[in-house]
Amino acid sequence: MSRAERKKDHIQHALNSVTENSNSFDDVRFVHNSLPETSVSQINLSVSIGELMLSSPIIINAMTGGGDKETERINESLAACARDSGTAMAVGSQMAAFKDPAVKRTYSIVRKVNQKGLIFANLGSELTLDQAKRAVDMVEADALQIHLNVIQELVMPEGDRDFQGALETIAHISSSLEVPVIVKEVGFGVSSEAVKALKETGAAAVDIGGKGGTNFAVIENQRREEPYSFFNEWGLSTAVSLAEAVHSASKELSVIGSGGIRDGYDLAKAIALGADACGIAGRVLAAANDGGKEKAERYIQHCLHELTIIMAALGADSIQQLQSVPLVITGRTRDWLLDRGIH
């Protein structure tokens, strides 16, 4: 299967798997506040990730580029949605554009459509500094996402088998590139130990990309004759991974929560668990696929509206205040965190 066909396949499988309705956020509950002492008009959704200022905590996370006309059309819709909702957006892995320069425009369309917004470039951890610079230039990016996708590679029959040197590469790129580096998982979560190691690299942020939404083990296993089924259940759930990451992160390393975020309620819970911002991929893709830019933008605006209302209910005027409201954690998330000594 060619790279372009695989990308199309990913989009189709991801769209089919967006139906998962329960995830680790269901273990997280807010404590009702009868005296919030705020008003809806007072709520401020702006956040910062290192030096980047975002008007809201939502990032349309890395998905596509590099395929055919269809991927270009999706990126165009997502970019217009990002522009009109003031949302940051990442493009999908740009390695495809280095292998086939003809597909560059499926990425650069994003900057053409959204000239002033925040755009993140994206490459895997096997990147070189030269590729990092070219990827940033291609979309005039404000940051570079370096994705970690060990499980996806292992399940892919043609995937990588050697994962040595990723930390060193991340440190080298972080210290040499002019824009900040965001290290991200793609749906298996990042542990407290991995976050400790990433703190030493100079990366500006870690996007924990937890389990509970798009599942690349399931997607890639569908293409294997003998599936590695054990990886379908692998990984840290988004709630667990957020708690683990926040436990180990420092002021210098922002934490982005992502993986299965469905709505404003999940956004609020991710932030209350300590996320500085949140990424959404699969559900925005589904909306864009269904009704183009308009439906994707309606979905994002609805999420932001729900988040605002929830913040008013909790008496949190800012994202920073939402990060410290009381929470009750139950079920498997509580068991995991107790077992790991994270409270």
> Which residue number, 80 or 182, has a Cβ lying nearer to ligand FNR?
182
Calculate the alpha carbon distances from 238 to 108, 121, 124, 166 in Å. Answer: 31, 23, 21, 22
Dist. CA 183–CA 227, nearest whole Å: 28
> Which residue number, 66 or 117, has a Cβ lying nearer to ligand FNR?
66
Strand, coil or helix: 95? helix
The least CB distance from residue 149 to ligand FNR, in Å, is 7
Write out the binding residues for ligand FNR, residues 183-202 only, by CB under 6 A.
184, 186-187
Is residue 23 a contact residue for ligand FNR (CB under 6 A)?
Answer: no
Is residue 135 a contact residue for ligand FNR (CB under 6 A)?
Answer: no
Is residue 10 a contact residue for ligand FNR (CB under 6 A)?
Answer: yes
> Which range, of 51-59, 113-121, 275-283, 329-337, touches ligand FNR by CB under 6 A?
275-283
**For residue 29, what are the β-bridge partners?**
328
> Which range, of 56-64, 190-198, 245-253, 327-335, touches ligand FNR by CB under 6 A?
56-64
Backbone angles phi, psi at 90, to 5 degrees: -105, 145
Is residue 114 a contact residue for ligand FNR (CB under 6 A)?
Answer: no
Is residue 239 a contact residue for ligand FNR (CB under 6 A)?
Answer: no
Tokens of 290: 């269904």
What's the half-sphere exposure (Cβ side, CA atoms, 13 Å) at 117? Answer: 27
Write out the binding residues for ligand FNR, residues 141-160 only, by CB under 6 A.
145, 147
The least CB distance from residue 34 to ligand FNR, in Å, is 33
Is residue 329 a contact residue for ligand FNR (CB under 6 A)?
Answer: no
Is residue 181 a contact residue for ligand FNR (CB under 6 A)?
Answer: no
> Which range, of 48-56, 167-175, 208-216, 270-278, touches ligand FNR by CB under 6 A?
208-216
Contact indicator for 271, 278 with CB cutoff of 8 Å: yes
Check the CA dihedral 242-264-217-285 and report its sign: negative
> Which residue number, 216 or 336, has a Cβ lying nearer to ligand FNR?
216
Dist. CA 184–CA 196, nearest whole Å: 14
User: What is the per-residue DSSP string for 116-156?
Assistant: SS-EEEEEETT--HHHHHHHHHHHT-SEEEEEE-HHHHHHS
Given the rule CB under 6 A, which residues bind ligand FNR?
A: 10-11, 14, 61-64, 92-93, 122, 145, 147, 184, 186-187, 209, 213-214, 258-261, 280-282, 285
